[in-house]
Amino acid sequence: MKIGIIGCGNIANAFHIPCYLKNGKVEIKYFCDILPERAENAVKKYGCGIAVTDYKAVLADSEIEAVSICTPNKMHSVIAIDALKAGKNVLCEKPAARVYSEALEMQKAQHESGKVLNIGVVNRFNTGINKIKQIIDSGELGEIYQVYVSFRAYRSIPGLGGDFTNKAVAGGGVLIDWGVHYFDIVMYCCSDPKIKTVSSEQFKKLGNPIDEYVYVNMWAGPPKADGVNDVEEGITGLIRTEGPVITFNGAWAQNIGEGETYIDFIGTKGGIRLNYAKDFVMYSTKSGMLTKTTFQMNEGMEFGPMFQNEINSFVECIETGKTLPSHIDTNIITAQMLDAIYRSAEEHREIKLD
């Protein structure tokens, strides 16, 4: 199967490209990036493929069956829709798009083309997350009545002034970049409870002026003093669903020197704390005693292989027609949720969803 990589930056080099190369059924025919040196470097580094700067050249090749879209968020819907219309199968990095309306357009193009459109909600391919879902589905924790979500870091902010902090490019800040993974896990493990109301507030207190910002971590590049930082670095809120109440606190940056990245699934019989990208602990009772169970992350259970699982599943679903849990139809629910969170924060009021 011949495929094209569109966007040859961090995530492409860290996971998509190496995972396709390990897959065995795939040949990478194109490396595409608007920065020619990135595409050319990939050709040299991986010893295969053709370097191009225009994604339309990839889509015009009838041999290409699928593409991975690893560009900044603002290009996700544009490239995905063009690719689907050109008859290609698509794995598009998360978030699906900057805003819900763009995600709906992507969904429409998928339905019309009948081609695959999966979003890079990679946690759905993690064995540990699937075990949590299995435990919740089995009823072992009783009724899950609250889920508490924390994605808080001490003074970081990715590439301050660059694509990640520019609303026109990214669509938002910590919620759309980090929160999207956390809410996706919640919705997946709790089987997509219908959302009733969303109430939130966002914070844009840190990071300006850019050149005066003091930080401990600046993943995604050093600050760009003349860049744009107009997204939220912090967000908090409450979501009522027909299942659990979801409460959340997220921050790329805050003046508390602790990172807290976990999801608590709180049930009537027991609870699970998922330490994001690490492991999980289950609290329950047995024979009148309290229990605290830790789970060993055996080979394949750790978070590392989830990207390989995601790529292998993408290739397999193109061959077999199987629908994956990362299909745009499931992802659209989280896209709507994020949209309501942002609307609530911008309008300082509760949003009701039908």
Ligand X SMILES: NC(=O)c1ccc[n+]([C@@H]2O[C@H](COP(=O)([O-])OP(=O)(O)OC[C@H]3O[C@@H](n4cnc5c(N)ncnc54)[C@H](O)[C@@H]3O)[C@@H](O)[C@H]2O)c1
Q: Is 71 in the site for ligand X (CB under 6 A)?
A: yes
Of 5, 32, 251, 315, the residue at the interface with ligand X (CB under 6 A) is 32
Q: Is 16 in the site for ligand X (CB under 6 A)?
A: no
- Which residue is listed with tokens 């949590």? 132
Q: Is 306 in the site for ligand X (CB under 6 A)?
A: no
Q: Is 72 in the site for ligand X (CB under 6 A)?
A: yes
Alpha carbon 254 to its chain centroid, in Å, reads 22
Supply the minimum distance, in Å, between the C-beta of residue 182 and ligand X: 12
d(CA 219, CA 10): 10
Of 4, 49, 120, 193, the residue at the interface with ligand X (CB under 6 A) is 120
H or E element at residue 3: strand 2-6
Class of residue 257 by CB neighbours under 10 A (exposed 0-12, middle 13-18, buried 19+): exposed
Q: How many residues does the chain have?
A: 354
Q: Return the range that interacts with ligand X (CB under 6 A); candidates 4-12, 273-281, 312-320, 337-345.
A: 4-12
d(CA 348, CA 342): 10
- DSSP tag of 261: E
Q: Nearer Cβ to ligand X, position 75 or 153?
A: 75
Q: Return the range that interacts with ligand X (CB under 6 A); candidates 2-10, 130-138, 287-295, 297-305.
A: 2-10
Supply the minimum distance, in Å, between the C-beta of residue 221 and ligand X: 8
For residue 44, give every residue at least 6 positions away whose Cβ sits within 8 Å of its Cβ, in sequence order, or none: none
Supply the minimum distance, in Å, between the C-beta of residue 93 and ligand X: 4
Q: Return the range that interacts with ligand X (CB under 6 A); candidates 69-77, 81-89, 202-210, 261-269.
A: 69-77
Supply the minimum distance, in Å, between the C-beta of residue 11 and ligand X: 4
Of 22, 25, 27, 35, the residue at the interface with ligand X (CB under 6 A) is 35
Supply the minimum distance, in Å, between the C-beta of residue 123 and ligand X: 9
Of 5, 6, 175, 187, the residue at the interface with ligand X (CB under 6 A) is 6
Q: Nearer Cβ to ligand X, position 123 or 344?
A: 123
Supply the minimum distance, in Å, between the C-beta of residue 162 and ligand X: 8
Q: Is 227 in the site for ligand X (CB under 6 A)?
A: no
Supply the minimum distance, in Å, between the C-beta of residue 78 and ligand X: 8
d(CA 226, CA 246): 38
Q: Is 7 in the site for ligand X (CB under 6 A)?
A: yes
d(CA 135, CA 132): 5
Supply the minimum distance, in Å, between the C-beta of residue 348 and ligand X: 27
Q: Is 163 in the site for ligand X (CB under 6 A)?
A: yes
Alpha carbon 11 to its chain centroid, in Å, reads 12
3-class state of residue 294 by DSSP: strand
Q: What is the largest CA-CA distance in the chain?
A: 66
What are the structure tokens assigned to 345, written together?
Answer: 């924060």
Please report which residue ranges of 171-237 form alpha helices under DSSP H.
174, 180-189
What are the structure tokens assigned to 57, written together?
Answer: 């050249």
Of 29, 94, 133, 152, the residue at the interface with ligand X (CB under 6 A) is 94
Q: Is 179 in the site for ligand X (CB under 6 A)?
A: no
d(CA 354, CA 332): 15
Angle, in degrees to the nearest 10, between helices 328-347 and 180-189: 120
Q: Nearer Cβ to ligand X, position 284 or 330?
A: 330
Break the chain down into helix, strand, coil percent, rounded to 5: 40, 25, 35
Q: Nearer Cβ to ligand X, position 120 or 223?
A: 120
Of 30, 31, 55, 125, the residue at the interface with ligand X (CB under 6 A) is 55
d(CA 70, CA 86): 18
Q: Is 38 in the site for ligand X (CB under 6 A)?
A: yes
The contact set with ligand X (CB under 6 A) reads: 6-12, 32-35, 38, 55, 70-73, 75, 93-94, 120, 122, 163, 177, 220
